[in-house]
Amino acid sequence: MACGRSAACPEGAVKVVERAGPKPRPFTINHVQTDPPKAIIQAENLTKVYRSGRIEVPAVRGVSFSVQRGEFIAIVGPSGSGKSTLFYLLGGLTHATSGRVVIDGIDFGSLNDAERTRLRKQRIGFVFQRFNLLPTLTAMGNIEIAHAISGNNQPLDHKYLDHLCELLSIQGRLDHRPSELSGGEQQRVAIARALITRPAIILADEPTGNLDTKNSDAVLSMLQRSNKELGQTVLMITHNLEAAAIADRILQVRDGQIVSDTINSQPVPVIASV
Ligand code: ADP
């Protein structure tokens, strides 16, 4: 079986379990349909340099790794080490200075803006530290709009929505606007919004950064379920080592580079009670 690491990886040293995940949807560019490759995310010699006048800040410096379908990866590192920049690069939310990001065999750099947006909407569910819910819509409106703009022409699966809301304990909060919800409730709505489109990949940037322990557990538990039960590939940025302990694999970032890539043979199961 393919090794999940891009760097030196002795044959047989790492076992990545392939799970039955969401069926990869074909993505067409210029009417050419691509076959889904094994690695769902590939970062190749990725570099990002911020420029402000004459000052250059190299935030990500030559990062390469690949993520297999169904893996749960935590990216950890101190503040300023480049984690968020890496998140934006992997999600196609910012352009790399050099190198490339390949999602399901498609190089973000080869796409125009509309195609990048389409690829993101079809393949990736985002969860942010600050929730990023639309303030004028209710919780339900935020979830519905994610489905509406996903490009999925199927009607909203209300049974699945009910199931998500039950798991996240937000059934009674769906008519409220974000300003009427606690931080924990907002993040649980944001998770439902990310999952409703059944994306193959969940990218979460410090999803528990603004939450108390109880809500953190609810969010981590849901990410773990989405990975183990729905087979979604999860990549979570965190500076919290306890949160990272639930992942199958932990990448450590320092000064814009990956300094270790470790398989966590015993991911901690999260029990949530909200
Ligand atoms: P982390 O998420 O690990 O805290 P970041 O990716 O936010 O790290 O930042 C990495 C480095 O890039 C830091 O030195 C930060 O100050 C710098 N940086 C981040 N965003 C910008 C920006 N928009 N312009 C200039 N420098 C930035």
Q: Which two tokens stand for residue 106?
A: 């498609």
Three-point CA angle 235, 242, 160, nearest 5°: 50
Task: Look at residue 18 and tell me if it is in a domain.
Answer: no
Minimum-distance ligand 1 atom for the alpha carbon of 77: 3
Q: State CA 102 to chain mean position distance.
A: 14
Task: Look at residue 187 and tell me if it is in a domain.
Answer: yes
Sign (positive or negative) of CA dihedral 40, 47, 224, 169: negative
Task: Look at residue 95 and tell me if it is in a domain.
Answer: yes
CATH of the domain at 110: 3.40.50.300
C-alpha 100 – ligand 1 centre gap (Å): 19
Which residue is associated with the tokens 């990869």? 24
Minimum-distance ligand 1 atom for the alpha carbon of 84: 2
Separation between Cα atoms, residue 252 and residue 259, nearest integer Å: 6
* pLDDT value, residue 38: 75
* pLDDT value, residue 154: 86
Kindly report the backbone phi and psi dihedral angles of residue 172, in degrees, each rounded to the nearest multiple of 5, phi listed first. Answer: -85, 0
Reference 145, options 128, 129, 161, 162; nearest CA is 161
C-alpha 78 – ligand 1 centre gap (Å): 11
* pLDDT value, residue 272: 77
Is the pTM higher than 0.75? The answer reads: yes
Task: Look at residue 172 and tell me if it is in a domain.
Answer: yes
Minimum-distance ligand 1 atom for the alpha carbon of 57: 26
Task: Look at residue 176 and tell me if it is in a domain.
Answer: yes
C-alpha 79 – ligand 1 centre gap (Å): 9
Task: Look at residue 26 and tell me if it is in a domain.
Answer: no
Each of the 274 residues of the chain gets a pLDDT tens digit; together they read 333 333 333 333 333 333 444 555 554 444 444 555 679 999 999 999 999 899 999 999 999 999 999 999 999 999 999 999 999 999 999 999 999 999 999 999 999 999 999 999 989 999 999 999 999 999 999 999 999 998 878 899 999 999 999 999 999 999 999 999 999 999 999 999 999 999 999 999 999 999 999 999 999 999 999 999 889 999 999 988 899 999 999 999 999 999 999 999 999 888 877 7
Q: How many CA atoms lie within 13 A of 30 on its CB side?
A: 4
Residue 211 structural domain: 34-263
The count of structural domains within the chain is: 1
By alpha-carbon position, which residue is closest to atom 12 of ligand 1? Answer: 59
Task: Look at residue 109 and tell me if it is in a domain.
Answer: yes
C-alpha 205 – ligand 1 centre gap (Å): 14
Distances, alpha carbon 173 to alpha carbons 119, 140, 166, 225, 263, in Å: 31, 9, 11, 22, 38
Mutation pick for ligand 1 pocket among 46, 49, 50, 52 (CB with most ligand atoms within 8 Å): 50
Task: Look at residue 10 and tell me if it is in a domain.
Answer: no
